[in-house]
Structure 1
Amino acid sequence: MSGKVKIYYFNGRGRMESIRWLLAAAGIEFEEEILESREQYLKMIKDGLLMFEQVPMVEIDGMKLVQTRAILNYISAKAGFQGKDMKEKVLVDMYVEGARDIGDMLLPLQFLPAEDRENSLKNIRKIACNRYYPVFEKVLREKGGGFLVGNALTQADLQLLEIIIMVDERMPDILKDFPHLQEFKALISALPQIHAFLQPGSQRKFMPDDNYVNTVRKVFNRS
């Protein structure tokens, strides 16, 4: 790899957090350029750093990558997190997209008026418990536990664990009826690179707060 990886995003989770998880799991060190002002964002566009004028952006292997899925797929392939053959890869892709469906429901929460968040959380809980968690529970039960796909860590495991932990933060009892997901959470969280990433002081970000929301709105000039 040519040079240290550098990521460009806000000081928060958003669409960069899954990339941070993947880099950490792969043992790839990275630096962060924190986006804090609209002027900084506009300069990045002027300097030609942001194709499509969007973040996340990741500098890796001499490239400036944008579009979250493209970045994740590149790092995943580089780290060997895509499965051992085409059949495993398509399973990984399906499970990643399923977990991401839940993540996409969580992303806007902090941007909603406080009075609307409770209803949104109730809806997320209903959808997760009725549609998504039962699927992953069944996959793990039929496999007899372990990883979602094959016998090695993949992007699907990382994406699902990230989502489980983010949902748990807001709904601590949500896994009570899903014993295999509980076991999965414990297993993947205990892997050395993941365990380190989950400790205080790592480059993992925490639940977005009002400061994060205000910075995003300021940078993108949104009310």
Structure 2
Amino acid sequence: MSKIQLKYFDWYGRGGTIKLLFKLGNIDFEDVIVGFDTWNEKKESYGLPLDQLPVLVVDGITLCQTTAIERFAATKAGLLGKCALTDAKGDMLFETISDVRKKISVGLVGKLAAEFPTEPGTFYLKDNTQENKDRRAAAMRENYKKMMNEKCQAFDKILKMIQTNKDFCIGNELTFVDIQLVSLYIFSKDVNVGHDFEKVSPLTFKTAMNIINKNPKIKEFVDEFQASGKPCTGLGKLY
């Protein structure tokens, strides 16, 4: 049995989907929670190839980059690798979701750059006081919702191309991209990065709810996370 260790912060972010995939695959792993309050001082001690999280260590081998880790976990859980065409269809939606998120992140930083200048090449504020982090979080909250509502109609467009069963994105069984919809739902309810998911992407939202409500393990995971009160990102905390 492989020894697996996941290192990430104590919020959903880029680590939540990985944890859910391990849960679905009944894969044991050590959940190493990295404290955001000591991150800058201690990050060199975590053995990070690119000074960023998440990082997965499998039998002493270090893996970085979120998508690489997610695809590893999905393959271990049996949600990838069965059919090349199915995987390609799923990647169409996965890449669309990723594109929208990247465009919004870049757009937000650019939109708020004058008022909230950051350290070069990072998301960290030059004035990194808690007061300034709170001010930017409030500005981000308003703008993120607006931009997400404008751009996420693309999800329904791609889903209509690949879906044949209302309970899944592709085919008649759970795949990797279904778990991305669970992540979309969780993020849509977050205080800082929430948006009107059910209104602007109704087909994707309904599919996400079917995936969650008809799979006990996923439902339990979502319920536990939402009950924890933990945020989806480090906005206003780490940066």
Give yes or no for TM over 0.5: yes
Quote the Cα distance in structure 2 between the aligned partners of 1:174 and 1:186. 11
For residues 43-93 of structure 1, the C-alpha deviation after alignment (integer angstroms, 9 at most, x for no partner) is: 22xxxx222333211122442211111111111122221152211111122
1:166 shift after superposition: 1.5
Q: Paired residue for 1:98?
A: 96
1:164 shift after superposition: 2.8
Matched, 1:40 2:64: no
Q: What secondary structure sits across from 1:166 in the alignment?
A: helix
Choose between structure 1 and 2: higher helix proportion.
1
Quote the Cα distance in structure 2 between the aligned partners of 1:113 and 1:146. 35
Quote the Cα distance in structure 2 between the aligned partners of 1:122 and 1:102. 13
Report the aligned-residue RMSD: 3.1
Quote the Cα distance in structure 1 between the aligned partners of 2:49 and 2:227. 25
Which residue, 71, 74, 99 being the options, matches 2:72?
74
Q: What secondary structure sits across from 2:224 in the alignment?
A: coil
Q: What secondary structure sits across from 2:6 in the alignment?
A: strand
Unaligned residue ranges in structure 2 (runs of 5+): 110-122, 124-132
Matched, 1:55 2:77: no
- Match of 1:181, as an amino acid? T
**1:20·1:203 contact (CA, 8 Å) conserved in 2?**
no
Moved more, 154-163 or 93-102: 93-102
Unaligned residue ranges in structure 1 (runs of 5+): 218-223
Q: 1:202/1:31 Cα in 2 relative to 1: closer, same or farther (>3 Å)?
A: farther
- Match of 2:147, as an amino acid? N
Q: 1:106/1:24 Cα in 2 relative to 1: closer, same or farther (>3 Å)?
A: farther
Quote the Cα distance in structure 2 between the aligned partners of 1:60 and 1:100. 25
Q: How many residues align?
A: 206
Moved more, 146-155 or 100-109: 100-109
Q: Paired residue for 1:11?
A: 10
1:182 shift after superposition: 4.2
**2:25·2:77 contact (CA, 8 Å) conserved in 1?**
yes
1:96 shift after superposition: 1.6
1:1-223 alignment to 2 at 5 Å? 1-3=1-3, 5-36=4-35, 37=38, 38-44=40-46, 49-104=47-102, 105=104, 112-129=136-153, 131-137=154-160, 139-140=162-163, 143-169=164-190, 170-171=194-195, 173-176=196-199, 180-190=203-213, 191-200=215-224, 206-208=230-232, 212-213=234-235, 216-217=238-239
For residues 6-49 of structure 1, the C-alpha deviation after alignment (integer angstroms, 9 at most, x for no partner) is: 211111222222222222222223332222213321222xxxx2
**2:6·2:30 contact (CA, 8 Å) conserved in 1?**
yes
Q: 1:214/1:148 Cα in 2 relative to 1: closer, same or farther (>3 Å)?
A: closer
1:99 shift after superposition: 2.2
1:202 shift after superposition: 8.7
1:106 shift after superposition: 6.6
Q: Paired residue for 1:221?
A: none
Q: What secondary structure sits across from 1:52 in the alignment?
A: coil
For residues 111-136 of structure 1, the C-alpha deviation after alignment (integer angstroms, 9 at most, x for no partner) is: 7442343133211101113x223332
Q: What secondary structure sits across from 1:34 in the alignment?
A: strand
Moved more, 84-93 or 151-160: 84-93
Q: 1:144/1:13 Cα in 2 relative to 1: closer, same or farther (>3 Å)?
A: closer
Q: What secondary structure sits across from 2:184 in the alignment?
A: helix
- Match of 1:126, as an amino acid? E
**2:79·2:174 contact (CA, 8 Å) conserved in 1?**
yes
**1:9·1:35 contact (CA, 8 Å) conserved in 2?**
yes
